[in-house]
Structure 1
Amino acid sequence: MTKPDDIPAYIIAPDPDAPRLTRALTGVDHEGRACDISVVEERPLTIFLNGHEIVTAMTIGDYPEYLALGFLRNQGMLAADETVTGVDYDEDLETVVVRTQSQTTYEEKLKKKTRTSGCAVGTVFGDMMEGLDKVSLPPLEVRSSDLYRLASVINRTPSLYLQAGAIHGTVLCQGDRPLVYMEDVGRHNAVDKIAGWMFSERVGADDKLLYTTGRLTSEMVIKTALMGIPALASRSGFTAWGVEIARQVGLTLIGRMRGRRFVCLSGDERLVRDVDPDSIPEEDKKHRRKGAPG
């Protein structure tokens, strides 16, 4: 699949032609004619932390190691300074086992709770909320010209979405440059893959922006904040709790990005409007991604 000349090469980008990510199926269209389409695959991936089974996620199957590392990081089960001794993926068993040099804080917590009360560890969401008190995000300046450039480039980049639909994209950006582009059937999976890449490569977050095609819910905001990324932008809309948390932690939150339009509901004082919106062309329909207006 070809790429327009003005779309930069990413450090990591989705490969819409990769095997096992899509499947060719035959259906019937609105006029009763046979038609061939590509649909996205979906398969389970079970994540283990040392000897503990943590979760089974439904995923498209690419970058399983990054997904496992990012999920554990975003859930607070793997500390930023943790020494990871192995990340082993077994395609046949559809499992990833992450091993650390010593017992993690999560495992100590799990052992303590099991011994004293027999209760469960608690909801993943609740564990994530506990980490927000420690979040301190830098006041990153976001330029509207960078937002317009990012949206244009990302929307036209060859992707599984443009080939088959039914998938979310998340992009780690620096200024007007996309760095890492991940896709998955779940928007949280795509974010976790990026978190896993950042953890694995020891990439800093202070000057980064996270772009997503998914809704800006409380959980998306929390994950971004816990990753240390100071700005989050989306084609889609907001939830009230997501906005409330973004304001609480000082996260710049921008949604409903379509063509020349966007809405900022948190961190407007850090937004620099350095370009006339009327000079920005509307999106070409053939490159237009869908997104809930919410």
Structure 2
Amino acid sequence: MDNRVRNSMPMIKYDGNAFVDMEDEVAIEYPLTIFIDNEEFATMVCSPTNLEELVIGFLASEGMVRTFEDIESMVIDEGKGLVYVSLKVKQSINKEFYSKRFIGSCCGKSRQFYFHNDARTARTVLSKIQITIEQCFRLMKLMQEQSVDFQQTGGVHNAALCTADQLLYIQTDIGRHNALDKLYGICLKGKLPRNDKIISFSGRVSSEVLLKVAKMGIGIVLSKSAPTTLAIELANDLGITVVGFIRNHQFNIYSHSERIIEGKKGE
């Protein structure tokens, strides 16, 4: 399989006057099933790029591994869309645990987790990073400039791992959560520190996205789109700064505004 996220497909375009036979660039949708120690664990639908990093980040997000070294081996059959993972420490897989609704409380306040596993793996982010207003705009601009596949298809999401001053890695996928898992996998493989990093994101900040960011231990997520109410509640609870609608020299800060400052850092 070639390492692309889009293919040319035939289509008929109505141009306002007539029907015209043309080709369009369309995002590839690829099913991938993960087996852990010969037991089926999950099937995801993704873009067929950076599959190893995607699986590593997904397993870490699900609490199956904590470091890259927890994985003994990984074999990817791209033709069949299958991944076989062997863990150094064998675990029993309770699928109900990974899909069962969780409602708990913390100091009298209910945390709005959907699943038991999120309650187990999401942690309060203690990052002290701060960025300026101009850095918010610049990081979003850098991500959008490199989002070639989105420009061609309109059918994918992009997520970028950044420092305050530069974009380090950008990942593309039809699933916004998959793009974040790919970044998580890159961090784990490269043993990259994450408490001084920022996520620049193309899509809506849902509760699922916010929890992925929390599990990565990153304190700021920037988006050109909107957050959901549950994402904002979780962000306030988990110590994450959510900045949305970064467009036309404006943005909205929905949580932990202390990380967004005016002027130069240190002034």
1:239-292: CA deviation from partner (whole Å, max 9, x where unpaired): 1111011111111111111131110011112211228xxxxxxxxxxxxxxxxx
Aligned residues: 246
Deviation at 1:82, TM superposition (A): 5.0
- How far does the alpha carbon of each residue in 1:223-253 deviate from its partner, in whole angstroms, 9 at most, with x for none? 1011111111111101111101111111111
Q: Which residue of 1 aligns with 2:41?
A: 54
Cα distance in structure 1, aligned partners of 2:28 and 2:189 = 26
Give the unaligned 5+ runs of structure 2: 101-114
Distance 1:86 1:163, change over 3 A: same
For residues 168 and 45 of structure 1, the distance between their equivalents in structure 2, rounded to whole angstroms, comes to: 18
2:108 maps to none
**Aligned mate of 2:207, from 213, 218, 231:** 218
| Match runs of 1:89-168 below 5 Å | 89-103=76-90, 107-108=91-92, 110=94, 120-123=96-99, 125-132=115-122, 134-168=123-157
Q: Which is richer in strand?
A: 2
Distance 1:19 1:72, change over 3 A: closer
Q: CA distance change for structure 1 residues 194 and 274 in 2, over 3 Å: closer, same or farther?
A: same
Decide whether aligned partners of structure 1 residues 95 and 242 sit closer, same or farther in structure 2, where only a CA change above 3 A counts.
Answer: same
Q: Pairwise mapping of residues 1-294 of structure 1 onto structure 2 (< 5 A)?
A: 20-31=4-15, 32-80=19-67, 83-103=70-90, 107-108=91-92, 110=94, 120-123=96-99, 125-132=115-122, 134-274=123-263
Deviations 1:56-92 (A, max 9, x none): 1111111111111111111112123752222211112
| Cα separation, 2, equivalents of 1:81 and 1:35 | 45
Which whole-Å deviations, capped at 9, do the CAs of 1:82-104 have from their partners, x for residues lacking one? 5222221111221122222222x
What residue identity is the alignment partner of 2:11?
G
Identity percentage of aligned residues: 27
Q: Judge conservation of contact 1:68–1:98 (CA < 8 Å) in 2.
A: no
Contact 1:59 1:186 (8 Å CA) reproduced: yes
Flag the 1:149–1:171 CA change in 2: closer, same or farther, 3 A.
Answer: same
Name stretches of at least 5 consecutive residues in structure 1 with no aligned partner: 1-17, 111-118, 276-294
Are the structure 2 counterparts of residues 63 and 122 from structure 1 closer, same or farther at C-alpha, using a change threshold of 3 Å? closer
Query: 1:237, 1:140 → 2: CA distance?
Result: 22
CA contact (8 A) 1:83 1:100 kept: yes
Aligned residue for 1:98, secondary structure, equals strand
CA RMSD of aligned residues (A): 1.9
Cα distance in structure 1, aligned partners of 2:251 and 2:168: 22
Cα 1:270/1:20, change in 2 over 3 Å: closer
Greater CA deviation, 136-145 or 64-73? 136-145
TM-score calculated relative to the size of structure 1:
0.78
Helix, strand or coil: the match of 1:97? strand
Q: CA deviation at 1:147?
A: 1.1
Distance 1:215 1:158 in 2: 16
1:135 deviates by: 2.9
Q: Deviations over 1:92-142 (max 9, x none)?
A: 221122222222xxx2463xxxxxxxx83341733112333x434212112
